Amino acid sequence: MAFGRFEDLLTATVFERLAYLSGDTLWGIIRDTFAVPACPKERVAKLKAMQFWPMWSAATDTLGKSVEPDVVLQMLIGESRELWTFIIECKLGRSQDLIQLCDEWEAFRYEAAGEYDPHRTMLLALGGLWSDRRLLPALADYSQKRFGKPLFGAAAGWSDLMNAVARASAASSSEARVLVDIRQALELHGHRIASPLRDLAGAARAIGVRAGCFSISQRGVPDEC
Amino acid sequence: MSVDPALSAALADVRKAYRLLWSYQRRLLDTIGLIAGEFPGVSFASWQPMDFYPPARKSVNPADYWASDLLPLMGADFFYLRHGNDRSMAQRGEWMLVINVTSDSGYEVESPEPDPARFEPAEECESSLELYIVKSTGDVPVRWTDGLWDRMEWPDDFPASILMESPALRAFGMKFDIAELGTSDAVIAAVANFKASAAADLQLDFTA
């Protein structure tokens, strides 16, 4: 239960703030976070709608229940303003569930009817990635069996979102403040931009320590560091 | 009072060393977090310096102890337990992840307090990270750290499959050169390798 509460809080905190960004910046962050070739490459985008926990009941007869995805993001992408729908399922401290993801897809197909376009609808799994990183192949297999075709999906961790937010270029000072706010929210939940060990040599140079510098001193060679 | 130029230069080196250590420790802790993140359903339980006392509490005079107590990441263990497991006592069949860091294999722990100037040359020593899964196999609950881990026989060779009757445990360990773990991709690949081997050795399913 505690995980569920934190999950909802983090989801709302982050996505409510993402909605304040310009369409281009928001789309850049989504593209960077999920880094999938299937995403449209266009950089121009406009936010059409962002819904939190919509209750979808149109497929209740088929699924036996209503379905409630965490976030539904609809964007008009590119100069041609193609409507794309992203069904986002967020997990914090627990794993993504293939059945849940596919239920959400199916529920949207019933719910959206006229707006449903299988080529412009994508499932985005945020957090709760499987340890073997095989969530997407498993989703493709499962959806193939269930629907006769693999679903469009992408997956990323909260840290990927954190890194994407850190890399994003703010279009204005107000956007910069929103980006900082999102980073702080993620940091409060334990997500920080990890520094890889490979960068240590660069950090050492910045400090004024050359690689092997201490070794030279130890061997009695004059210290040139 | 005159400034000793050699001491002044040495102190500049110390300042650089502290900054370098800070940078190293930040990256090391991030790497440890990345490793732990590859085990879903597992969270941090505790940590301890491997061979020294933890840094002294405010009311304890550090001067009464070795200076190395203030360098706990020279060698340290990080313990992670599955959600829902008893945080202090290991029940039969439960397991923990241990990330053991040896930042400098050259340090010595024989009393009296050693002089680091006499350690083996740093170039001939290692900086390594060992990963273990330790599984309790006894019927009687036992404390995770001082009951199981601290009493486990340390392997000399890796990968290591460890079977003990007292304390009753099975464990699997692998050792990695920290220089091989420079990027996230390298860390994730090393952990995947470890998980596959540990799962086979201990008949565990890390996806469950």
Query: HEC states along chain B?
Result: CCCCHHHHHHHHHHHHHHHHHHHHHHHHHHHHHHHHHCCCCEEEEEEEECCCCCCCCCCCCHHHCCHHHHCHHHEEEEEEEECCCCCCEECCCCEEEEEEEECCCCCCCCCCCCCHHHCCCHHHCCCEEEEEEEEECCCCCEEHHHHHHHHCCCCCCCCEEEEEECCEEEEEEEEEEHHHCCCHHHHHHHHHHHHHHHHHHHCCCCCC
Check residue B31 and give its pLDDT: 94
Check residue A191 and give its pLDDT: 80
Residue A94 CB coordination number (10 Å): 14
- What integer is the mean pLDDT of B109-130? 93
Strands of A82-90's sheet, edge to edge?
A45-52, A71-77, A82-90, A121-126, A153-156
- Residue indicated by tokens 């990441």: B73
Looking at chain B from residue 12 to 41, which residues have their Cβ under 8 Å from any Cβ of chain A?
13, 16-17, 19-20, 23-24, 26-28, 30-31, 33-34, 37-41
d(CA B60, CA A90): 46
Check residue A190 and give its pLDDT: 77
pLDDT at position B119 over 80: yes
Cα atoms in the Cβ-side hemisphere of radius 13 Å centred on B31: 33
Q: What is the pLDDT of residues B143-152, one digit of tens each?
A: 999 999 999 9
Between A and B, how many residue pairs show a Cβ–Cβ distance under 8 A? 79
Give this prediction's pTM.
0.70
pLDDT tens for chain A, residues 1 to 225: 454 568 899 999 999 999 999 999 999 999 989 876 667 778 899 999 999 999 999 989 889 999 999 999 999 999 889 999 999 999 988 889 999 999 999 999 999 877 778 888 999 999 988 655 678 888 989 999 998 988 888 999 898 899 899 889 898 999 999 999 999 999 888 787 788 899 898 889 999 887 767 655 544 554 454
Does A192 contact chain B (CB < 8 Å)? Answer: yes
d(CA B90, CA A4): 27
Q: Residue A213 — φ and ψ, nearest 5°?
A: -55, -45
Q: Given A194, A200, A225, which is nearest B23 (Cβ)? A: A200
Check residue A222 and give its pLDDT: 46
Check residue A132 and give its pLDDT: 54
Residues of A in contact with B43 (CB under 8 A): 93
Q: What is the pLDDT of residues B70-116, one digit of tens each?
A: 999 999 999 999 877 888 899 999 999 999 999 999 998 988 999 99
d(CA A114, CA A89): 23
- What integer is the mean pLDDT of B161-184? 96
Check residue B143 and give its pLDDT: 94
Cis peptide before B159 (omega within 30 of 0): yes
Mutation for A interface: B7, B8, B11, B20, most A CBs within 10 A: B20
pLDDT at position B56 over 50: yes
Cα atoms in the Cβ-side hemisphere of radius 13 Å centred on A209: 24
Check residue A1 and give its pLDDT: 41
Q: Given A198, A207, A214, which is nearest B23 (Cβ)? A: A207
Q: Given B19, B34, B182, which is nearest A198 (Cβ)? A: B182
Chain A nearest CA to B101, separation (Å): 14
Chain A nearest CA to B19, separation (Å): 7
Residues of B in contact with A214 (CB under 8 A): 13, 17, 122
Q: Given B39, B40, B181, which is nearest A197 (Cβ)? A: B181
Chain A nearest CA to B121, separation (Å): 9
Pairwise pLDDT comparison (B193 vs A42), residue with the higher score: B193
Q: Residue A38 — φ and ψ, nearest 5°?
A: -65, -20
Encoded tokens for B49: 């310096």
Cα atoms in the Cβ-side hemisphere of radius 13 Å centred on B90: 28
Does B104 contact chain A (CB < 8 Å)? Answer: no
**Alpha helix segments (H runs only) across A91-207:** 98-112, 135-147, 158-167, 173-188, 200-207
Q: Domain limits of chain A?
A: 2-188, 197-225
Residue A102: DSSP 8-state: H
- Residue indicated by tokens 């370098």: B20
Q: Is A131 close to B123, i.e. CB distance below 8 A?
A: no
Q: Is A195 close to B30, i.e. CB distance below 8 A?
A: yes
